[in-house]
Structure 1
Amino acid sequence: MKLRKELWFGFTLMALILAGIAVVLGRAETITNGHIGLLMLALIVVAIMLGFPTAFTLMGMGMIFTWLAYERDTGKTLDLMVQSAFKVMSNDVLISIPLFVFMGYLVERANLIEKLFKSLHLAMARVPGSLAVATLFTCAIFATATGIVGAVVTLMGLLALPQMLKSGYDIRLSAGAITAGGCLGILIPPSVMLIVYGATAGVSVVQLYAGAFFPGLMLAGLYVLFVIGVALIKPGWAPPLAPELRTVRLPLATARFAEGAQRALPALLQALKGRRNADVPTGHLLRQLAVVLLPALVFALVAVGAHRVVTAPAAGPAPAIEGLTELGAAGDAGGLAEPPAGGLEEPPGSADLSEPPGAEALGEPPGAEAAPPADPATAAAAAAAPPAEAQARSAPRGYWIGVGTGAVALLAFYALLSFQRLEIFKMLLSSFFPLMALIMAVLGSIVFGLATPTEAAAVGALGGFVLAAAYRQLTFNVVKESVFLTAKTSAMVCWLFVGSAIFSSAFALLGGQELVEQWVLSMNLTKTEFLLLSQVLIFILGWPLEWTEIIVIFMPIFVPLLDHFGVDPLFFGLLVALNLQTAFLSPPVAMAAFYLKGVSPPHVTLNQIFAGMLPFMGIQIIAIALLYAFPAIGLWLPQLLYR
C-alpha cells in the first residue's frame, strides 16, 4: 500500500520524536521521574498525531503517570482528577466561551457573508486584486464576528473561490487568501484562543483583547498589501474585474431620474423641486436622500460630541472646608519641622508633675478675644452664593485637524457619490455596518471597562439573535443547531482544560517541569534568545498540532520561565497568538487547507492549496518580527487604558 506524502511526513516526525527521547534516556546516568515526565510529553504528541482525541488522551496519560508519580496510590490519583476538574469548571473566565461561540453560530446562520462579500468586492472594484482583497476583508470581518475558522473558510470556499477562478485568478493566490483570511478569527478579538491562553497563563483577558487588536489589524493589512503587490507585479494572477461584474442594477424608480446624473446628491435635490419627479414617488426620493445624508449626519454628531468632550471644563480643586487652614500658614516654621537635634528629652519639671489647675484657671487661648463675631447675614449670603463656574477649555489643534480631515473626506465622498455607488453604499449599510456595530459594541464594552468579557459575550449573543431576526433567519432549526454546536464546541474546550490540568499536575509531580527549566537555564540564554527558542518551538509544534493542544499542553511549561527572563506574559501571549496562526496554515495538519479542499472544484489539488498558503506563513513570520521589534504595537493600547 502506497502512503501519501503527508502520512510519510507524520510518521517520520513521530519517529524523530521517539528517537530523541530514546537518546535522552540513553545518555542519562539514572532514569529519574523527570525523564519519565519527558517520555509522557513525547507520548502525548505521538498519540495526538495518530488521531486519538486530545482531551481524553491528556486525561488518560495524566492519570496513568500521576498514578506512577504517587507510587501507585489510586486514592491520591482520583483525588487529583476530581480537584483538577473542579478547579477548571469553577473558572469564571470560561463562561464567556459558550456565549461567544453561540454568537458566532447565530451570525454564521444569518447568511450575511454573501451580501458582505458582494458589497465589498463592488466597493473595491478599482483596487488591484479586488476579489482577493475583498475576500480578505470579508474573512477578517466575518471571522471576527464568529471566531469559527472552519465555518469561514468553508463558506468563502463556496462563495469566493468559484468567482475568483471564473475571473482568471491564480489557484494558489485564491486559496492562500481564503485560508489566511479565515484564520484571522483566532487572533482578532473577540477570540476564543485569547480566552484559553488567558485562563492558562493567568493573564487578563481584557488586556489580551486590547493588546491583540492592533497586531491583528497589522497582519490583515500585510495580507492585503501582499495581494495588491502580487496583482501589480503579475497582473495575470489577479486580473481586473470584468465590466459586468462592476455594475449594479438600479431600482426602477431611481433609474427614471438618475439617467445622465453624475452625482447623486444634486440630482436628488433637483428631482425634489423639479418636474423630473413626476413619475417618482416623493417618499422614494426622501428615502434616498436620507441615505445620502446619513454620513453627514453621523459626522456632525461625532464632531459635536467630540467637541463637548475636549472642551469640557477641567475639574477644579476641592472646595475648602470652613475652619481648616493649611499647615504652617500661621506659624513661623512653615509646616512640619524635624525635631531638635538633641533628640527626645523629658519635659522640664517632669519630676514634679501635678494635676492641672482648677476649671476656673482655664481661659481662652491667646488671641481668641481678637476674633470678631461672625455676622449671620454675611454667612447666609456666602452660603447662598453659587460657586464660580469653571471656564470651558478651547478645543486643541488635534481636534480641528481631525474635523478638517473628516470634512475633506466627506466632501470627496459626495463628489464621487454616483447612483451606482449609492446602491453599493446601501448594500454596505445592510451587511457591513451591522456586523461592525456588533463587533464594536462587544469589543468596546470590554476594552473600555464597561463590561467584563462574560457580560460582553452575553451582549454579543443577544446581538446575534437580533441580527438573525433582522435578516429573517431566526427559526427554531437555526437556534437548535446553534445551541447544539455551541454545546459541542464548549464541551470540547472545557474537557481540554480538564485534561490539561491533570496532565500538567502529573508533569509537575514527576519533575518534568523542573527538568525543562534546568535545561533552559543551563544554556544561559538572553531574553532575545529565549523568545527566539520558544517561538521556533511553537512554530514547529504548529505543524502536527492545533492551537488548542499547543496552549493547554505547552504554555504551562513556558509560562513559569517568563519571570526569569523578564518577559511580560501579556507580550508573550501576543507573540504566541501571532505564531499560532501557523497551526492552521502549516502542513501536514493545516486544517484550513482540508476545509477548503472539501468544497473546492475537483481540479484544485491539495498541493496547490498548500503552495498558496506558504507566502502567507512567511508574512506571519514578518508580523512576529515587527511585533518583537516594536512592542508598542501590542502593548500601547493596554498601557493606555489599564496602567
Structure 2
Amino acid sequence: MRKELWFGLTLMALIVGAVFVFMPSPADWTNGHLGLLMLALIVVAIMLGFPTAFTLMGMGVLFAWLAYRHANPEIAVAQTLDLMVQRAYAVMTNDVLISIPLFVFMGYLVERANLIEKLFRSLHLALAWIPGSLAVATLITCAVFATATGIVGAVVTLMGLLAFPAMLRAGYSTSISAGAVTAGGCLGILIPPSVLLIVYGATAGVSVVQLYAGAFFPGLLLAGLYIVYVVVLAKLRPALAPPLSAEERTVRLSPLATTLRDTVSRRALPALLVGLKGRRNVDVPMRDVARQLGVVLMPAIFVAVSMSLMYAAVTSPLVTAGTGGLEEMGAVSSSSSEGEASFDSLQAPPEEASPAPDALTPATPAAPPIAQVPAPAPAEAKPTLATPAADVTAAADVTGESRPAPTWFWVTLAVVALLLVYFYWRFDFARLEIFKMLLSSFFPLAVMILAVLGSIVFGLATPTEAAAVGSLGGALLALAYGQLNYSVVRDSVFLTAKTSAMVCWLFVGSSIFSAAFALLGGQALVEEWVLSLNLTPVQFMILAQVIIFLLGWPLEWTEIIIIFMPIFIPLLDNFGIDPLFFGLLVALNLQTAFLSPPVAMAAFYLKGVAPPHVTLNQIFAGMLPFMAIQILALALLYIFPGIGLWLPQVLYR
C-alpha cells in the first residue's frame, strides 16, 4: 500500500477515534453534539473522495432535517426544502461572486497567449548577472503569472514544463529547482487578484477591496524572501545553482545593431544618435535607427514625465479647507458656555471617534450569530473617501502663488539623473535586445495587472468591474500575440465554466452546511469550548493557524475557507481580532499547507510533468526551505501587522 494511502487512512482513523473518545454516549447526545459529528463526518467523506460540494449539501440537508424534526416533525421536510432554496438563492444573488469567473477567464486567456515562455526567457537574460539567475527568473515569472491567473495548478504545471527542465540542464540542484517552481506557483493564493481572497471576503463579510490592498505587501514580502534565499544560497554554494555559461547568456543582435556596434560604439544611445545621419555615415536606414532610438529613449521619457508630475504636485498652490462662515448642524460655537465641547465642522464628536485599528482590534462590526443564517454581504463597495458633511461645509481656499520645490525633490532629481546616466552608460545593444524582449512580454502583462489592481485598490472600480476589464485585457493580449482563435476561446470558456461551477456549488453546499451546523447549535458549542480555555488573543491566533495548517494537508483551500471559516469568524470578536488581518494570515498560512508533505498538492502537480528520474522525495526536500520561509513571513506579518494593514488604513480608514 502506498504511503499516501496509509497517511490518509491513518488520519481518518484518528478523526473517527477522536469522535468516539470525546463524544458522550449516544443516549446523552444533544443537537450540538450532532453538529460536531457532522463536522467530523464531512472531513472523512471528503478524504474518501466524495465530491465536496454535493457532500456538503447532502450532509447539510440530512442534519438540517434532524434539527427541524427535533423541533416539529410535521413540518420538518417543508422547512428543510425551504432552507435549501433560500440558501441557494442567497449565494447566487451575491454580486461579488461574479468576479470569480471573470478573473479565471482572464487567467486562462493569458496562459494560452504564450506570454510566459517569452517572459521567462527575457527575465533570465536580464538577470544573468545575479547568482541563481534562473531560479530568480522562475520566481519572478511565477509571481507575475500567478497575479494574472491565481490558479496554483496551472502555474506549477506550466513552469514545470518551461523552467524546471531549463534549470536542470543548467546544472541546478533538483531540490532548488523544484522548490522554486512549487513555491513560486503558490504565490497566486496570496497575491491579488486572488480568488481565495474573493471567497474569504464573501464568506466572512470582509471587503474584497481592502483584502486586496492588505495582501499586496505581504505578497511582495514573501516573493522577496524567496529571491533573497535563492541569491544567498547560490552565492554561498555555487555548485547548487551555477552561473549561466557565456553561450547561454549570448543575445543575437540584429544586422542594424551589429553594424552600429562595429562601426560607431557598443553603447546604444550614442551609436543610434550618430546613426541618424543615415547612409552618409554608416550606411543604415534612418527609419530603422529612429525606431530603435525611440525604444532606447523610453526610460528617459518615463523618468522625465514622472519627475514632471512630481514637480507639479510639490509646487502646486496650497489648498486650505475653510468653513466659509458655515457651521455643522449640532456643533457648538466657541462662545458656548463652559463645559460644552466645541469642534470644527471637519471633526467628529469625541464620543464618535475611534482609535486607529490594529491587528487585534476589530475593524468591522461583530458578525451576526450564525444561527440567523444571514445572506453573504456583498464585499465590493467602493470606499468612501470623504463624508458628505465635509463636502457640504468645507470650502477650499487656494493661494495664488506656487510653492517652491522642497530640498528633497532636488536631491531625488539629482539621484535619478545620475542613475539614468549610469543606465545609459551601461546600456549596450545586447541590453537593448533584452529590453525589447521585456517590452513585448513583461510590460504588457504588468500594465494590465496594474490597471486591474489599481482600479480596485484606489476605488475606481469594484472587483467585478475590474475583473471584466481584465478579461477584455486578456483577450486583447491574446489577439496582439496572434493566439486568439476559436480553439483558445473554447478551451478558456470551458475551463472557466468548470472552475466557476465548482466554486459556486461549493458556496451553495457550504451555505446549507453552515445553516444546519448553526441550527444544531454546533457553533455555540465550539464557541463555549474555546472560551472555556481562557486563551489570550495570541494563543487563539496560534491555535487557529495551527488548525488551518493541519487542515491544509488533506483538504483544498476552497474547502477550508468555505467549511471552517464560518466557524472561526464568529470567534474573532470575542478576542478582538480584525477579520481583515485574520484573512491575510489565513491566505499566507494556506500557502504553507500547499508545500507540506506528505499531501502537498504543488508537489504532485510538478511530479506530473517532471522528468522520470525526479522523485517525490527530491521535490519534498526542495519545498521544505521555502515552507520555512513562509512560516517566517507568517511570523513577520503577525509581529508587524502594519505590513498588511498599513495600505488599507491609509486608503480607506
Q: TM-score, normalized by length of structure 2? A: 0.87
Secondary structure of 2:400's counterpart equals coil
- 1:284 corresponds in structure 2 to 288
Structure 1: which amino acid aligns with 2:423? F
Counterpart residue number, 1:584: 594
Does the aligned pair in 1 maintain the 2:319–2:399 contact within 8 Å? no
In structure 1, which of residues 520, 527, 543 is the aligned counterpart of residue 537 of structure 2?
A: 527
Tell me the equivalent position of 2:385. Answer: none
Is the CA contact 1:10–1:588 (under 8 Å) kept in the aligned structure 2? no
Tell me if the contact between 2:278 and 2:286 (Cα under 8 Å) persists in the aligned partners: no
Question: 1:388: how far off?
Answer: 8.4
Structure 2 CA distance for aligned equivalents of residues 66 and 388 of structure 1: 64
Q: 1:335 to 1:426 in 2, by over 3 A?
A: same
Partner SS state of residue 237, structure 1: coil
Partner residue of 1:273 out of 240, 265, 277: 277
For the 8 Å contact 1:67–1:74, the answer to whether it is kept is yes
| More moved, 579-588 vs 180-189 | 579-588
Could you tell me how far 1:6 is from its partner in structure 2? 1.2
In 2, are the aligned partners of 1:257 and 1:277 still within 8 Å (CA)?
A: no
- Report the counterpart of residue 639 of structure 1 in structure 2: 649
8 Å CA contact 1:187–1:194 kept in 2: the answer is yes
Q: Which residue of 1 aligns with 2:367?
A: none
> Which residue number corresponds to residue 150 of structure 2?
147
Q: Show the 5 A alignment for 1:213-252.
A: 213-252=216-255
Please state if 1:79 is matched with 2:77.
Answer: no
Aligned to 1:14: 12
The residue aligned with 1:296 is: 300
Q: 1:168-200 deviations in whole A, cap 9, x for unaligned?
A: 111111011001101101110011100000000
Partner of 1:359: none
CA-to-aligned-CA distance 1:509-530 (integer Å, 9 cap, x gap): 1111111111110010001000
The reply to whether residue 442 of structure 1 matches residue 452 of structure 2 is yes
* Matched letter for residue 634 of structure 1: G
C-alpha distance in structure 1 between counterparts of 2:644 and 2:323, whole Å: 41
Q: Name the structure 2 match of 1:599.
A: 609
Is the contact between residue 211 and residue 634 of structure 1 (CA under 8 Å) also seen in structure 2?
yes
Q: TM-score, length-normalised on structure 1? A: 0.88
Aligned 1:126-525 pairs, distance under 5 A: 126-259=129-262, 261-273=265-277, 277-317=281-321, 335-337=335-337, 390-525=400-535
Asked if the contact 1:578/1:624 (under 8 Å) is kept, the reply is yes
Distance in 2, matches of 1:214 and 1:317, equals: 33
Letter matched to residue 237 of structure 2:
K
For residue 297 of structure 2, give the secondary structure of its aligned residue in structure 1: helix
2: CA distance between counterparts of 1:47 and 1:28?
21
Structure 1, gaps ≥5 residues long: 327-332, 340-386
Q: Distance in 2 between matches of 1:463 and 1:401?
A: 38
What's the offset of the Cα at 1:306? 1.8
AA partner of residue 506 (structure 1): A
- Check whether the contact 1:122–1:424 (CA below 8 A) recurs between aligned residues: yes
1:298 alignment partner AA: F
Is the contact made by 1:144 and 1:189 (CA closer than 8 Å) also made in structure 2? yes
Partner of 1:124: 127
How far did 1:389 drift? 5.3
Partner of 1:61: 59
DSSP-derived class of the 1:580 partner: helix
Q: Would the alpha carbon gap of residues 617 and 319 (structure 1) be closer, same or farther in structure 2, given more than 3 Å must change?
A: closer
Amino acid at match of 1:525: L
Aligned pair in 2 of structure 1 residues 582, 335: CA closer, same or farther (>3 Å)? Answer: closer
Spell out the pairing of 1:38-53 with structure 2 (5 A cutoff): 38-53=36-51
Tell me the distance in 1 between the aligned counterparts of 2:82 and 2:286.
76
Deviations 1:202-260 (A, max 9, x none): 00000000000000000001111111122122211101101111011001122112127
For the 8 Å contact 1:147–1:186, the answer to whether it is kept is: yes
Distance 2:77 2:410 in 1: 72
Alpha-carbon shift at residue 276 of structure 1 (Å): 7.6
Measure the CA separation in 1 of the matches of 2:323 and 2:550.
Answer: 63
Correspondent of 2:578 among 568, 571, 592: 568
The 1:500–1:325 alpha-carbon spacing in structure 2 relative to 1, beyond 3 Å, is: closer
Residue 65 to residue 398, structure 1, CA distance change in 2 (3 Å)? farther
- 8 Å contact 1:543–1:582 — kept in the other structure? no
Check the 8 A contact 1:143/1:149 in 2, yes or no: yes
Alpha-carbon distance between aligned partners in 2 of 1:532 and 1:455, rounded to the nearest angstrom: 37
- Number of equivalenced pairs: 586
Amino acid at match of 2:521: G
Inter-CA distance 616–276: structure 2 relative to 1 (3 Å threshold) = farther
CA distance in structure 2 between the partners assigned to 1:11 and 1:285 by the alignment: 68
CA change 1:235–1:389 in 2 (3 A) is closer
SS of corresponding position for 1:474: coil
CA distance, structure 1, for counterparts of residue 301 and residue 338 of structure 2? 65
From the superposition, tell whether residues 27 and 163 of structure 1 become closer, same or farther in structure 2 (CA, over 3 Å). Answer: same
Q: Does 1:551 align with 2:555?
A: no
Structure 1 pair 426–37 and aligned structure 2 pair: CA distance change class (3 A): same
Q: Distance in 1 between matches of 2:218 and 2:561?
A: 19
Tell me the amino acid that sits aligned with residue 295 of structure 1: P
Q: Distance in 2 between matches of 1:166 and 1:514?
A: 57
Alignment partners' CA distance in 2, 1:264 and 1:306: 29
In 1, distance between residues paired with 2:334 and 2:256?
83
Letter in 2 for 1:165: L
Provide closer, same or farther for how the CA distance between residues 319 and 174 of structure 1 changes in structure 2, counting only shifts above 3 A.
closer
Q: In 2, Cα distance between the equivalents of 1:163 and 1:319?
A: 66
| Cα deviation, residue 274, structure 1 | 7.3
Q: d(CA) in 2 for partners of 1:535 and 1:505?
A: 24
The partner residue of 1:109 within 109, 112, 115 is: 112
Q: Secondary structure at the match of 1:259?
A: helix
Deviations, residues 390-428 of structure 1 (Å, cap 9, x unaligned): 222233344334333322322221111011011001100
Deviation at 1:615, TM superposition (A): 1.3
Distance 2:149 2:83 in 1: 36
5+ unaligned residues in a row in structure 2: which ranges?
Answer: 340-396
SS at match of 1:599: coil
Closer, same or farther in 2 for the Cα pair 1:407/1:26, shift >3 Å? same
Q: Is the 8 A contact 1:546 1:583 kept in 2?
A: no
CA distance in 2, matches of 1:199, 1:334: 47
Alpha-carbon distance in structure 2 between the residues aligned to 1:578 and 1:325:
48
Taking only the aligned residue pairs, the percentage that are identical comes to: 70
Contact 1:316 1:390 survives alignment (8 Å): no
Q: Alpha-carbon deviation of 1:585? A: 1.6
CA 1:66–1:420 in 2, change beyond 3 Å: closer, same or farther?
Answer: same
Greater mean deviation of Cα atoms: 251-260 or 110-119: 251-260
